């Protein structure tokens, strides 16, 4: 009976045009059935297109003919330059290796990352991703602003530092809070006012500003545990925030005042503050993170108007550092300038974070160097390129645009090159350290016995004699 039903079903499918052929007509199949006996029934194969869902492991079929794309290659000689695709979509081709995309690719992302598509031949081995763009971060929209983060879940190699960009609308507040870790801020734009107290109850209030009228902006630093507030003034405020733990979203890292009070018995809060419980009826039950001011604050330059008389006095070391009051260090290599801040040199309170504002002139190069701490990088403006060398004959090259972040783990050799012939590349270097430390390749080679270097690099001693004996920082 089952055999008859099988043949009837086969006939029906054949009429419907679903079956290509009866496999029992195949000699090998017939031999298999004869060998195995009645336990095996004939198999029938229907068209895959007749299925209600496509089989996942199959490659898709295309009705349109394959488009032959141009195999544009590097113009010889290949000395590691960025691949030039002649205004066309980037293709994974270099030195005759690789081939064009036959399927789709996100060409916009490819165009921003040409060294992912057609890397220089010096790239080798397996190097993890060391770059993250804030444009890929989820943006949390709030009444009075927004915030987006880069933590260890976004950039796993960044274990020392996490970051956030925060925007406050005019007169809006970042809620009263404190952290288990240190907080460092770079004013990207706008104006604002910060306030805090230290462990002795000494107070601090100061205005902060972004790059107004071509000047360098302010930075600030709050040590771990220091409670503080941030308020935008009439222009609004945008800040790059750095925290001294890559796993910044972990529980027990950030503490909001209203959240704490909302989760403490009301009678305890009232007794602690010395007020009646009815006064506290409107305490927020969910921390607002950002909130709007009911009364505009005094304008920029009038922070003292909001200062509360403090019997303990003021903090002995300012939490704000004015970059526009710091002299720039012009690079001996002639390719730009830097401003370095750390607790050993000029910003005493910043004991857990050292920083540098770096300006690389068109076509300039932040020289080959390495650090004794992880370096966290943030691109403010311009377009750059860097190759990370972790040792072990491995290397990987990355491309950078504004808003990109990167990490070069401790001792990774690297450089940062400005790719623009007309615009400067401006970026920040940050370290979880009390001071800024780097080692540079050229200075080292210049101060090693010359014959040692000549033998290693297979160059004349006269070439080694021309190496610069002081750090070039940035090379023109």
User: Could you report the per-residue pLDDT of 46-65, keeping only the tens digit for each?
Assistant: 433 433 444 444 444 545 55
Nearest-CA neighbor of 131 among 112, 111, 155? 155
Burial of 377 (0-12, 13-18, 19+ CB in 10 A): buried
CA geometry: angle at 410 spanning 119 and 184, to 5°? 105
Q: Tell me: pLDDT of 5 over 50.
A: no
Backbone angles phi, psi at 279, to 5 degrees: -65, -25
Q: What's the pLDDT band for 319 if we cut at 50, 70, 90? A: very high
CB contact set of 64 (below 8 Å; sequence gap of 6+) = none
Averaged pLDDT, 113-117: 97
CB 461 within 8 A of CB 449: no
The CA-based dihedral angle spanning residues 157, 159, 161, 167, taken in that order and rounded to the nearest 10 degrees = 70
Q: What's the pLDDT band for 127 if we cut at 50, 70, 90? A: very high
Averaged pLDDT, 215-221: 98
pTM of the model: 0.85
Quote the distance between the C-alpha of residue 388 and its chain's center.
15
Strand partners of residue 395 = 124
Q: Tell me: pLDDT of 14 over 60.
A: no
Backbone angles phi, psi at 199, to 5 degrees: -65, -15
- Please give the Cα distance from 231 to 194 (Å, whole number): 6
- Please give the Cα distance from 385 to 408 (Å, whole number): 13
pLDDT of residue 38: 52
Q: Tell me: pLDDT of 380 over 90.
A: yes
Nearest-CA neighbor of 430 among 321, 328, 342? 342
- Please give the Cα distance from 158 to 457 (Å, whole number): 33
Conformational region of residue 171, where left means phi above 0, alpha means psi within -120 to 50, and beta covers everything else: left
Q: Write the DSSP string, 222-242.
A: E-TT--EEEEEEEEEEEEEEE
pLDDT of residue 15: 45
The count of other CB atoms within 10 Å of the CB of residue 410 is 13
Which listed residue (361, 429, 465, 470) is catalytic? 429
- Please give the Cα distance from 91 to 108 (Å, whole number): 12
Q: What's the pLDDT band for 180 if we cut at 50, 70, 90? A: very high
Mean pLDDT value across the chain: 90
Q: What's the pLDDT band for 203 if we cut at 50, 70, 90? A: very high
Averaged pLDDT, 14-35: 55
pLDDT of residue 52: 42
Q: Tell me: pLDDT of 375 over 50.
A: yes
pLDDT of residue 45: 42
- Please give the Cα distance from 160 to 134 (Å, whole number): 18
Q: Tell me: pLDDT of 353 over 50.
A: yes
Tens-digit pLDDT profile for residues 323-335: 999 999 999 999 9
Handedness of CA 260, 261, 266, 269 (dihedral sign): positive
pLDDT of residue 336: 98
H or E segment and range at residue 414: strand 414-418
The H helix count followed by the E strand count for the chain is 9, 26
Three-class SS of residue 384?
A: strand
Instruction: Reply yes or no on whether 429 is catalytic.
Output: yes
CB 187 within 8 A of CB 253: no
Averaged pLDDT, 254-258: 97
Three-class SS of residue 122?
A: coil
- Please give the Cα distance from 161 to 149 (Å, whole number): 12
Rounded to a whole number of angstroms, the distance between the first and last alpha carbons of the chain is 88
Among the listed ranges 6-10, 171-175, 369-373, 434-438, which one has the minimum average pLDDT value?
A: 6-10
Tens-digit pLDDT profile for residues 404-440: 999 999 999 999 999 999 999 999 999 999 999 999 9
Three-class SS of residue 210?
A: coil
CB 297 within 8 A of CB 171: yes
Averaged pLDDT, 254-260: 97
Q: Write the DSSP string, 149-208.
A: EE-TTTSTT--S-EEEEEEE-TT-EEEEEEESS-EEEEEEEEEEEEEEE-TT--EEEEEE
Rg of the chain in Å (alpha carbons): 32
Three-class SS of residue 454?
A: helix
pLDDT of residue 75: 81
Burial 311-345 (b: 16+ CB within 10 A, else e): eeeebeeebbbebeeeeeeebebebbbbbbbbbee
Among the listed ranges 5-9, 63-67, 92-96, 115-119, which one has the minimum average pLDDT value?
A: 5-9
Q: What's the pLDDT band for 72 if we cut at 50, 70, 90? A: confident
What does each C-alpha distance from 292 to 142, 164, 231, 317, 394 come to in angstroms?
A: 10, 20, 9, 30, 51
């Amino acid at each position: 009976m089952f055999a008859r039903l099988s043949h009837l079903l086969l006939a029906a499918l054949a009429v419907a045009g679903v079956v290509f052929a009866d496999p029992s007509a195949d000699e090998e199949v017939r031999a298999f059935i004869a060998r195995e006996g009645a336990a095996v029934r004939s198999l029938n194969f229907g068209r895959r297109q007749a299925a209600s869902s496509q089989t996942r492991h199959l490659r898709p079929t295309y009705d349109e003919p394959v488009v032959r794309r141009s195999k544009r290659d590097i113009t010889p000689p290949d000395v590691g330059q960025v691949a030039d695709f002649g205004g066309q979509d980037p293709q994974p081709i270099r030195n005759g290796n690789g081939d064009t995309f036959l399927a789709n690719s996100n060409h916009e992302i490819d165009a921003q990352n040409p060294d992912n598509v057609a890397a220089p031949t010096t790239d080798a081995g397996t190097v993890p991703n060391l770059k993250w763009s804030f444009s890929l971060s989820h943006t949390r929209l709030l009444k009075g602003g927004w915030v987006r983060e880069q933590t260890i879940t976004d950039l796993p190699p960044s274990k020392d530092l996490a970051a956030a960009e925060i925007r406050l609308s005019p007169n809006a507040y970042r809620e009263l809070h404190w952290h288990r870790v240190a907080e460092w801020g770079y004013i990207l734009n706008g104006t604002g006012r910060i306030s805090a107290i230290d462990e002795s109850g000494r107070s601090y209030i100061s205005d902060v500003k972004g790059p107004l009228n071509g000047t360098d902006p302010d930075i600030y630093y709050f040590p771990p545990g220091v409670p503080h507030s941030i308020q935008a003034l009439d222009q609004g405020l945008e800040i790059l925030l750095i925290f001294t733990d890559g796993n910044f979203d972990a529980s027990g890292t950030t503490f909001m005042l209203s959240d704490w009070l909302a989760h403490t018995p009301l009678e305890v809060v009232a007794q602690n503050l010395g007020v009646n419980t009815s006064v506290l009826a409107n305490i927020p039950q969910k921390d607002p993170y950002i909130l709007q001011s009911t009364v505009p604050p005094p304008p920029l330059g009038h922070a003292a108007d909001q200062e509360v008389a403090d019997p303990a006095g003021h903090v002995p070391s300012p939490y704000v550092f004015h970059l526009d009051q710091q002299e720039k260090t012009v690079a001996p290599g002639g390719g730009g300038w830097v401003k370095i801040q750390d607790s050993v040199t000029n910003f005493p309170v910043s004991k857990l974070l050292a920083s540098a504002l770096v300006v690389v002139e068109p076509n300039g190069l932040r020289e080959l160097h390495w650090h004794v701490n992880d370096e966290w990088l943030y691109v403010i403006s311009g377009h750059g390129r860097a190759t990370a060398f972790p040792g072990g004959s491995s290397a990987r090259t990355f491309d950078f645009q504004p808003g990109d972040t990167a990490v070069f783990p401790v001792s990774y050799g690297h450089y940062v090159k400005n790719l623009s012939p007309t615009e400067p590349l401006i970026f920040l270097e940050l370290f979880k350290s009390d001071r800024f430390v780097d080692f540079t390749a050229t200075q080292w080679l210049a101060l090693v016995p010359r014959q040692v270097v000549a033998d290693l690099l297979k160059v004349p001693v006269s070439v080694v004699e021309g190496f610069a004996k002081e750090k070039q920082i940035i090379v023109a």
